[in-house]
Every structure is written in C-alpha cells, then in structure tokens.
C-alpha cells in the first residue's frame, strides 16, 4: 500500500512539480471544501506523452495532432494529475485556484473552482482506469482531506456531477466504490 503523502504549503511532496500559469488566488476567506475527479486524455483516447503537461502550461504543440488545433486557446489546469502508471504530477498549489471545473455548481453554489481541488486521472470514459491510479488516488485524497477537513466523503465528486450535461468525466468506467473503500482504508 502506498503511504499517504505529506502536503506542505499546498504542495504534495511525492508529486512531480510542473507549475501552470493557469491559476490564481482563491476568493478571500474561501477554503477548499470540494474535491473533483476528472478524466483526461490527449489526444482523445490516447495515453502517455507530454501533451497534458503542455496543455496545462500553455505550450501544446498544435502540429502534433489535428485535435490540438481545436484546443489551442484553452487556458486550463488542474491541481493534480495521476498518470496511468500512478505517477503524480502537480500543476497548481492546493491553496490556489486551478482552472479545472469551468461552468459548474455544487449544492447550489456556483463557480466550483473557487472552493474545489481538481484531480485529473489520465483516462477516458470508455476504458477502465488502472490499479496503479486507484492505488495513488486513495492516499492523495486522504492527505487532502486531512489538510482540508471541510472535504467530507460526500464532497468528493466527479466533473460530471458539477457540470451535468456538459461534462461526463471521469466516466462510467470509473469505479467509485474503489475510491470510497480507499477513503475508508486511509481514515
């Protein structure tokens, strides 16, 4: 079992750091109280490569794939990414606002980026996530919840839950029961 990572000043110690410019300060007096699970693959349905890092750091090589021309002007990020092999990458300090949720609402509160932490899983709606990803996700979620106790178990949701009709990730292949069990195991 992986050990629970330490979080110091918003930085996850076990994560490779890849700072994104696509972030800013959270609104005053706004602490994280929601954790959003996402799924991402670039190009769509393909895994590996530098493309997610490049997207989140605004240096995507648009000549590599035709889809990249469609997203060239996006300015997005996430706090964390868990790659297929379980590697953890951090783009934005957990104390800052990453630009991952877009138009969104949770329990009547809009603009989820203000109060959410976003974790991307390298994957897509129609393929299972890997054992290594679940093994990395549970201790990271536990570490985040220890630092931000307002993120209760019912406040760990998918992008699909805060942007229904607009987003489907992490998709039907994501095994919520594995995450829920992992959260219990790490309490």
For domain 7-47+78-185, give the fold.
Lysozyme-like (3.40.80)
pLDDT reading at 186 higher than 80: no
Residues in the chain: 187
The predicted-structure confidence for 97-129, as pLDDT tens digits, reads as follows 999 999 999 999 999 999 999 999 999 999 999
The model carries a pTM of 0.97
Q: Is 6 a catalytic residue?
A: no
For residue 96, what pLDDT is reported?
98
Residue boundaries of the structural domains of the chain: 7-47+78-185
Rounded alpha-carbon distances, angstroms, from residue 41 to 49, 75, 83, 108, 111: 10, 16, 10, 29, 24
Tens digit of each residue's pLDDT (9 = 90 or more) over 39-88: 999 999 999 999 999 999 999 999 999 999 999 999 999 999 999 999 99
Element (H, E) at 8: strand 7-8
Average pLDDT over residues 8-22: 98
Q: Which is the catalytic residue, given 46, 70, 120, 122? A: 120
pLDDT at residue 1 above 60? no
């Amino acid at each position: 079992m992986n050990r629970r990572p330490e979080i110091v000043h918003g930085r996850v110690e076990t994560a490779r750091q890849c700072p994104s410019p696509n972030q800013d300060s959270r609104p005053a007096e706004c602490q994280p109280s929601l954790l959003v699970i996402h799924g991402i693959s670039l190009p769509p349905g393909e895994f590996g490569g530098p493309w997610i890092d490049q997207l989140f750091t605004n240096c995507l090589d648009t000549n590599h794939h035709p889809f990249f021309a469609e997203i060239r002007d996006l300015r997005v990020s996430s706090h964390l990414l868990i790659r297929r092999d379980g590697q953890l990458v951090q783009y934005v300090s957990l104390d800052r606002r990453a630009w991952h949720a877009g138009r969104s609402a949770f329990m009547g509160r809009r603009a989820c980026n203000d109060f959410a932490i976003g974790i991307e899983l390298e994957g897509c709606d129609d393929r299972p996530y890997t054992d290594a990803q679940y093994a990395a996700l549970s201790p990271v979620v536990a570490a985040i919840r220890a630092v931000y106790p307002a993120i209760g178990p019912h406040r760990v949701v998918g992008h699909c839950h805060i942007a229904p009709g607009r987003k489907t990730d992490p998709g039907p292949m994501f095994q919520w029961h594995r995450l829920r069990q992992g959260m219990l195991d790490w309490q």
